[in-house]
Structure 1
């Protein structure tokens, strides 16, 4: 449903290099009935999907580790981030996207996924909606090394960790990725592991 109190006046592309950064000027009607013009920048990188693979028998989860420049710039001295497997939809259905990303990044070929929720990850500046999934995995599903696609500049390390260790890594700050924390907490709250 369109908000009748918001009118987009102009949209100016500030950057269209990696993804698109727009400056949007809009009119907003406030609670007292007056109108105000505001400008904000919004980064459009498309929507994405994320998955946490878990194994009930071993009590383990599959995570990845890779260099993330924005974290390096903002104080992460190594720039390495431990996170759940994720990727952009690239016009795919979220379920198909996450199956493809899982195989590319982790080497596991999964057929059954469970969608658990959707969330805006940084709604003050980024348009992205992230589709969250979980799936069970077993050793037999490992068909490749994973590591991502070289042509996309990916250099991803696959980690298989005990679930309890992953949770403790959130508490110690070794895992600082929001989507990963949300999925680990989801497994805990649902009593899956």
Structure 2
């Protein structure tokens, strides 16, 4: 099968072995991994046993979608109190009741073979045209842990006219058509749940308001809660 004994179109083999031999959790034993599909991403069905509270082993099945890990970044200008987002068509949301499939998002992309910092610098300049200097790592998050293996690395960085290298828009040879949208930070916050419905973007905007560059007051780390 492609992706198992025969290389898939990305040259991968052994995709049916992922998870076998995991022993970090003594309450879980992986018995079998079945490769269901190996297109650009990988779908697996895994049979495993999980030990319950009384010590009995319960047989379970999980289907996991593996698209690799990714990174995203909130670009912000604290002096003008603005953020730089992207807008592009997303077919999965279009087919699931979004009016036109056009999402406002923070710049993001898959890591591919890069480390997270290298990947997000690459995506920022490709999508927004801005070459970032200092990066702030915010957190790493599993976005849909019930079925998707992806972990996203979240970052934030300043942008300004001095960081602009080109107009952005993505890679035309990969079929990307991305609009670069600058919004006032307060306007972006007000659009959460209406104009902005992308999870990673909402998380970074809320972080910026609560703990990041637009927080009105930083929490006092020395204050004791009662």
Match of 2:120 in 1: 98
Shift of 1:18: 2.5
TM-score normalised to structure 2 length: 0.83
Match of 1:183 in 2: 204
Which runs of at least 4 in structure 1 moved beyond 2 Å after TM superposition?
none
Q: Which has the higher contact order (CA 8 A, sep 6+)?
A: 1
Say how many residue pairs are matched: 192
Shift of 1:32: 1.4
CA distance in 2 between counterparts of 1:50 and 1:31 reads: 38
TM-score normalised to structure 1 length: 0.96
CA distance in 1 between counterparts of 2:29 and 2:67 reads: 23
The gaps in structure 2 that reach 5 residues or longer are: 1-22, 215-226
* Matching residue within 170, 174, 178 for 1:148: 170
* Matching residue within 60, 65, 73 for 1:38: 60
Shift of 1:13: 1.1
SS in 2 for 1:158: strand
In the TM superposition, 1:50-65 aligns within 5 A as 50-65=72-87
Match of 1:109 in 2: 131
SS in 1 for 2:192: helix
Structure with higher Rg: it is 2
Structure with more of its chain in strand, by fraction: 1
Match of 2:157 in 1: 135
Using a 3 Å threshold, how does the CA distance of structure 1 residues 86 and 191 change in structure 2: closer, same or farther?
Answer: closer
Question: More deviation in 140-149 or 160-169?
Answer: 140-149
CA distance in 2 between counterparts of 1:67 and 1:5 reads: 42
Match of 1:77 in 2: 99
Structure with more of its chain in helix, by fraction: 1
Match of 1:174 in 2: 195
Shift of 1:95: 0.7
Residues 42-100 of structure 1, C-alpha deviations (whole Å, 9 max, x = no match):
00000110000000111000000111111011100201111100011112111111001
CA RMSD of aligned residues (A): 1.1
CA distance in 2 between counterparts of 1:23 and 1:153 reads: 31
Shift of 1:191: 5.2
Match of 2:186 in 1: 164
The gaps in structure 1 that reach 5 residues or longer are: none
CA distance in 2 between counterparts of 1:29 and 1:153 reads: 47
Using a 3 Å threshold, how does the CA distance of structure 1 residues 8 and 160 change in structure 2: closer, same or farther?
Answer: same
